[in-house]
Amino acid sequence: MRRLLPGHGASRGSALGRARVRNPHALQVAEQRIRSSEVEHELARLHTAVDAARTEMHDLRTRLHGALAREVGEFLELHALLLDDPELLQGLDELIRKGRYGADYALRLQRDRLAAVFEGMDDAYLRSRMDDLDHVIGRIHAHLHNRAADAEGLAGEILVAETVAPSELAQLQAQGVVAVVTSTGSALSHSAILARSLHMPLVVGASQALSRISDGDALIVDGDSGQVVVDPSARDLRHYRQRLKDAAREQRELDRLRGKPTRTRDGVDIALHANAESRTDVAQAHALGAAGIGLYRTEFLFLQRNALPDEDEQFRTYRDVVLGMSGRPVTIRTLDLGADKADRTGLALRGEDNPALGLRGVRLSLAHGEVFDTQLRAILRASGYGPVRVLVPMVAVREELLEVRKRLKRLTAQLRRGGHEVAAEVPMGAMIEVPAAAICVEHFIDLVDFLSVGTNDLVQYLLAADRNNDALGELYSPLRPALLRLLDTVLRTGREHGKQVTVCGEIAGDAAMAPILLALGLEHFSLHPSNMLELRRAIRGHDRAALLASAGKLLKARDRAGIEHWLKGKSQ
Ligand code: PEP
Ligand code: MG
């Protein structure tokens, strides 16, 4: 029967597909004993399932090409190794042979046993292997029931899960998943940012998804409104087709703005830079006429892999981004691992009590000096190929910037001595995403060449509201007077000192927020290329002088309703 489930749209676009439900407790198999006469049969069932999982992974590996093969390949290789692990396999055989358990229950017991071992490990890297073990066990379990875990089954499917990790999204897309619905999570999480970069429709916070969607249900997912329709009616299907047509028409209309300037009605040019994670983003940014890359998130190079990328690999990646932008400036952000961007390399700590307040961003880099130097050397080398700027994430205090500057100076001299070309100028900037840095921006602006405001984190730290916690409802929102006041401080200080200020949080890509940012005097927006034409259209419809003149009123708003009221008066 048709059901309508509400959620929050986190990555735009619509998809029609078949539900693949990933239950967080899929292995809550009830205790299952077998008779001695059934032991051989149960062992054979298990071994067939393990073989099928092995073949499945091998097939998947051979079907991947290009960058995906590199990104996902390592992950699959590790899973193949786990599948051959005698600890796992012999343990299972014993549970069936001696314990007289059915294969499903043996799988669960073995999973729980190994989980306890992993949990007790001191080494963060080894502890992080638990996710991989769960993947492998899930694959075997699926094959026990003659169901390929994903390789063959996922094409055209919509994953319904409690959460989805940034590290698995690319793999899901490679396997043919057309959309994702999660019962928790927020549109500002890194998974959501990555889904937008992959153009994969995503609905988060659909709290009833796991209880009201079953494997195999037909779903229509609307990544704009956040609605999920289960068992769509003929009318829903017609609407869905109409939406696809409307989206194509809207796209054609927006396409006319390609190559047009981003100029306000009163003739002021606004620079639109791109946020990029992948080569596709860079190509798109170039094609849409972005002023440059305003935020290249390097951590995605460190996710989905088990070893750190070395200097040469990083250098080639950054150099290709620089070459891809043909002379337009590329702002490369140093590693911002930690919190929800936990890696597989073991660099980011697991199990911190408060990861968002923990060892992340520049703190993590400074704690791993060699890893940081390797990255800085790779970035400096890339500057030989075109204009590069270095952006430091999560800056809280002046001392951090002094330390990064010192390193840049030392490494530049070292590289030049070694015969490498490093640009005469590699501007360094700070991300403003910690309230202390925003409040005291005046105290360290002398150390930087530019600033970039990361509103995604700034909102979370300012309101003490986790950007991934949907239980906080509307609290996490950029429509807060405290945020506007800080934005005003940072933009004003930047102007006074002649330093460029960019906003690179998700707010910068939201056409509906453009009047606020223009009113506060923002001239440099950095956003995902997929929103660029829409933002260009919005900016072209506004009169900047009139907005600047009403900034005073905006800053007097005492609550969200006040800001919304101001915004309403500015809508086109
Ligand atoms: C931000 O915090 O606004 C930002 C751009 O960085 P990230 O989303 O990668 O944390
Ligand atoms: Mg951030």
Q: Are residues 67 and 118 in the same domain?
A: yes
Contact 499, 471 (CB under 8 A): no
Residue 152 scores a pLDDT above 80: no
**Residue predicted with more confidence, 53 or 77:** 53
My answer on whether 273 and 178 are in the same domain is no
C-alpha 505 to ligand 1 mean position (Å):
5
Residue 263 lies in a domain: no
What confidence tens digit (pLDDT) does each residue in 517-570 have?
999 999 999 999 989 999 999 999 999 999 999 999 999 999 999 999 999 998
- Domain carrying residue 92: 3-243
pLDDT(474) > 90 = no
**What confidence tier does 151 reach under pLDDT thresholds 50, 70, 90?**
very low
> pTM of the prediction?
0.77
- Other C-beta atoms closer than 10 Å to the C-beta of 103 total 26
- The pairing of strands 388-392 and 428-432 is parallel
Residue 225 lies in a domain: yes
Ligand nearest the Cα of residue 452 is 1
Tell me whether residue 262 is in a domain.
no
Residue 504 is among the residues annotated as catalytic for this protein = yes
pLDDT tops 70 at residue 394: yes
Domain termination residue (choose one: 243, 260, 291): 243
Pair (422, 459) in one structural domain: yes
Residues 211 and 277 in one domain: no
Phi-psi region of 498 (alpha: psi -120 to 50; beta: other; left: phi over 0): left
| Confidence at residue 75, expressed as pLDDT on a 0 to 100 scale | 60
Question: Measured in Å, how far apart are the chain's first and last C-alpha atoms?
Answer: 40
DSSP per position, 29-71:
PPP-B--GGGHHHHHHHHHHHHHHHHHHHHHHHHH--HHHHHH
260 occurs within a structural domain: no
Task: Output the pLDDT for position 145.
Answer: 75
3-state secondary structure of 218: strand
Number of domains in the chain: 2
Residue 148: per-residue pLDDT: 55
- Secondary structure string (H, E, C) spanning 416-481: HHCCCCCCCCCCEEEEECCHHHHHCHHHCHHHCCEEEECHHHHHHHHCCCCCCCHHHCCCCCCCCH
Average pLDDT over residues 290-317: 91
- Model confidence at 57, in pLDDT bands (50, 70, 90)? confident
CATH number at residue 477: 3.20.20.60
Residues 391 and 454 in one domain: yes
pLDDT surpasses 70 at 60? no
CA of 453 to the centre of ligand 2 (A): 9
Task: Tell me: do 457 and 338 sit in the same domain.
Answer: yes
Span 185-230, pLDDT tens digits: 888 777 888 888 788 999 999 999 999 999 899 999 999 999 999 9
72 has a pLDDT exceeding 70? no
For the segment 413-469, what is each residue's pLDDT rounded down to a tens digit? 999 999 999 999 999 999 999 999 999 999 999 999 999 999 999 999 999 998 888
Phi-psi region of 499 (alpha: psi -120 to 50; beta: other; left: phi over 0): beta
Domain annotation covers residue 261:
no
Does the CB atom of residue 509 touch ligand 1 within 6 A? no
Six-digit token string for 49:
């399932």
- Residue 122 sits at φ, ψ, to 5 deg, of -75, -30
* Same-domain check for residues 230 and 319: no
Q: Select which of 79, 141, 273, 504 is catalytic.
A: 504
Average pLDDT over residues 298-304: 83
Q: Are 231 and 298 in the same domain?
A: no
* Active-site residue, selected from the candidate residues 79, 135, 141, 190: 190
Element housing 299 (H / E): none
**133 or 441, higher pLDDT:** 441
> Same domain for 218 and 336?
no
User: Using an 8 Å Cβ cutoff, are 459 and 407 in contact?
Assistant: no
The per-residue pLDDT of the chain, averaged, comes to 89
CA of 153 to the centre of ligand 1 (A): 34
- Can you give the CATH number for the domain in which 126 is found? 1.10.274.10
Judged against a pLDDT cut of 60, whether residue 498 lies above it is answered with yes
440 is catalytic: no
- Are 276 and 152 in the same domain? no
Question: Are 428 and 345 part of one and the same domain?
Answer: yes
Alpha helices for 157-299 (secondary structure H): 166-174, 190-198, 209-212, 234-255, 279-287
Domain check: are 212 and 302 in the same one? no
